Amino acid sequence: MSDSESSTDESLDLHDGQMRHQSFAPRRATMWLLAKSLHRLIQNGRLTVFDPNGEKWCFGPGGGPTVSVRLDDVGLPARLLANPSLALGEAYMDGTLRIETGSLRDLLMICTTDIDTLDLMPGKRLRRWLDRLLSRRLHHNPINRARSNVAHHYDLSTKLYDLFLDADRQYSCAYFATGNETLDEAQDLKKRHIAAKLLLRPGLDVLDIGSGWGGLALDLAQQHQAHVTGLSLSAEQIAAARARATQSGLSDRVAFEQRDYREERGRYDRVVSVGMLEHVGHSGFDDYFNTLQRVLKPDGVALVHAIGTMAPAGGSDPWIRKYIFPGGYLAPLSATIAAAERSGLWVTDVEILRLHYAQTLRHWSERFAAERESARRLYDERFCRMWEFYLAACETAFRNGRLMVFQIQLAKRRDTVPLTRAYIAEARSHRRLNVKSTGNQTGRTR
């Protein structure tokens, strides 16, 4: 469990299920229990841990990333056992967990390679039970709470997002057709892919639920001559989107409104919602899909692009919920489709994007690292460490965990969309020719 350099080799032993040592202090027992969990968990690479007493513990067979960390808080081993994700993220933010060799990404990759063993850690099992018990309260987002949750994350300075997003400020999973695209290319492909599934033609009325900084809405208006209404609860995003519409000369075709989707009373030919479902909460799924059903015209089509989980039950990570997306809730695809069907909508197409978000997040992490000093001037060192952990943890969750992105196409009638998916490739090919000849005029200048 610990290597030959650790002074615990002779003093720490297991005998008939009992720990024996003349002066086995409670804190040392806690570190011993943490080491036992890490011994089972680390199945790839090599992790060296220096505990708060200066003792050295080594885990893993090698053959992968090599990471060395130092724990500088005597209470940290107990917190890591009790709530691994929250404690690890907070320790990295506070500097009580210091990475001496390797990188944060390497550490998280090592610790999440065997996701089934990670889920069996005592603290993880207890946390899942508590989350299930408190799920409705943790993930309940009435309009007032939804506004507060959105402001927590999306009303941060737009300058921060400019440091790591693409030129169009697409803050959602990109689409990597080959895996070799740049971030900007992959985000443009994502917009093309979504537009193709919406079966757009000139003059249609489109509702964009969760319109962000306006990039998709402006693209649909410019490239497909649609009339778009974008909804967001973020004051920062609405202001930026309206400025972009004016600058692009598209204000006559695009309107951005700061209101909750549940308050929408219009009727639309198309509805698109990218990265919004994750924020409606456990109790909000029926309201969400009932709203789509209500605002869609009889021959309407909707496209929902969202993060989901292949775990049997939905939920959210405790660190992400506390520091990044309060109120966030990730549902299994099965529960999402069930909610859509309860609303009376037909599920006409489903596509699973398994590793696309992992690649997107890797691009974001690298861009943020390159602009880290600018981020520190905007906020502070602790914020930078929080953001680094957020991007790296999310990437590893998509690479090694149970997360994916799905796109669900919905319609009121079963015959609204073509019989086969050939129209998607055809529409994307037509858009590619248009972009090549006219250029994309909706991107902002940095």
In 3D, which of 231, 203, 200 has the Cα closest to residue 301?
Answer: 200
**Rounded alpha-carbon distances, angstroms, from residue 47 to 103, 142, 263:** 11, 44, 51
The residue among 183, 227, 165, 233 whose CA lies nearest residue 202 is: 227
Task: Please give the Cα distance from 197 to 207 (Å, whole number).
Answer: 15
* Contact in structure between 306 and 277 (CB atoms under 8 Å): yes
**Is there a contact between 271 and 295 (Cβ–Cβ < 8 Å)?**
yes
58 is catalytic: no
Give the contacts of 271 (CB within 8 A, at least 6 positions apart).
Answer: 206, 207, 209, 292, 295, 296, 300, 301, 302, 303
Give the residue among 100, 71, 106, 109 at the shortest CA–CA distance from 87.
Answer: 71
Amino acid at 366: E
- Residue 314 has φ and ψ, to the nearest 5°, of -80, 180
The residues assigned a catalytic role are 394
